Amino acid sequence: MEGKDRAARGSESFPRRCRLGGNRNYRYVYRRGKSHPSKNLVLIYLKGKEQRFGFSVSAKVGNAVARNRIRRYLREDVRRLRKRLKTGKYIFVARPAIKMAAHEELTRELENLLRRAKLVKEDDSQ
C-alpha cells in the first residue's frame, strides 16, 4: 500500500536533471531532430537513451509573466505524461498564438501532438 503510493508519487516527479541544458544541446537537437508542428506548439524530438525536456518561449509570446505562465503549463503537463513517453530529447517551442490559449486547451493539444508523433508508449495504457 505504502510502497505503491510512493511509487505513484515518484512517477510524477520532474526534477531538474531531466531538463535539457546548454546551448550546444539545443543546437544539436534543432539540427538533428524531427519536428512536429501543431497550432500553438512545435515539438522537436531526437532519439536517445535518456529522457530530457526543454522549453523555448520567445519574447514574441509576451512579457516575462506571460512567458513564465506558458512554460509552467507546459512543464506541468509534461510532468504528468513523462513516464508514458519514450526516451530521447524533446524541445517544445511555443508559437506566438499560444498566449490566447487556456490551460485545458493546451493539455489536450500537447497530448494529441505526442500521440501523433507516436512517442507515447502503448503498453503503459492499462
Partner RNA sequence: CGAGGCUGCCAGACGAUCGCAGGCGGAUGCGCCUGAGGAAAGUCCGAGCACCGCAGGGCAGGAUGCCGGUUAACUGCCGGUGGAGGCGACUCCAAGGAAAGUGCAACAGAGAUAUACCGCCCGGGGCUUCGGCCCCGAGCAAGGGUGGAAAGGUGAGGUAAGAGCUCACCAGCGGCCUGGCGACUCGUCCGCUCUGUAAACCCCAUCCGGUGCAAGAUUGAAAGGAAGGCGCAUGUGGCGGCCCGUCACGCCUUCGGGUAAUCGCUUGAGCUCCCUGGCAACUCGGAGCCUAGACAGAUGAUCGUCGAAUACAGAACUCGGCUUACAGGCAGGGCUCGCAUU
Partner RNA sequence: GUGGGUGUAGCUCAGUUGGUUAGAGUGCCAGGUUGUGGCCCUGGAGGCCGAGAGUUCGAGUCUCUUCACCCACC
Give the integer Cα–Cα distance in Å for 64 and 57: 10
Kindly state the DSSP code that residue 18 receives in the 8-state scheme. Answer: G
The window from 35-43, 67-75, 82-90, 112-120 that contacts RNA (CB under 7 A) reads 67-75
Site string for RNA, 14-43 (x = CB under 7 A): xxx--xxxxx--x-----------------
54: contact with RNA by CB under 7 A: yes
76: contact with RNA by CB under 7 A: yes
Backbone torsion region of residue 32, taken as left when φ is above 0, otherwise alpha when ψ lies between -120 and 50, otherwise beta = alpha
79: contact with RNA by CB under 7 A: yes
Range 21-29 contact pairs with CB under 8 angstroms and sequence separation of 24 or more: 21/54, 25/52, 25/54, 25/89, 26/54, 26/56, 26/91, 29/54, 29/89, 29/91
> Looking at beta carbons only, is 45 or 55 nearer to RNA?
55
69: contact with RNA by CB under 7 A: yes
What is the smallest separation between the CB atom of 39 and RNA, expressed in angstroms? 19
Kindly state the DSSP code that residue 50 receives in the 8-state scheme. Answer: S
Which residues contact RNA (rule: CB under 7 A)?
5-6, 9-16, 19-23, 26, 54-56, 63-65, 68-69, 71-73, 76, 79, 103-104
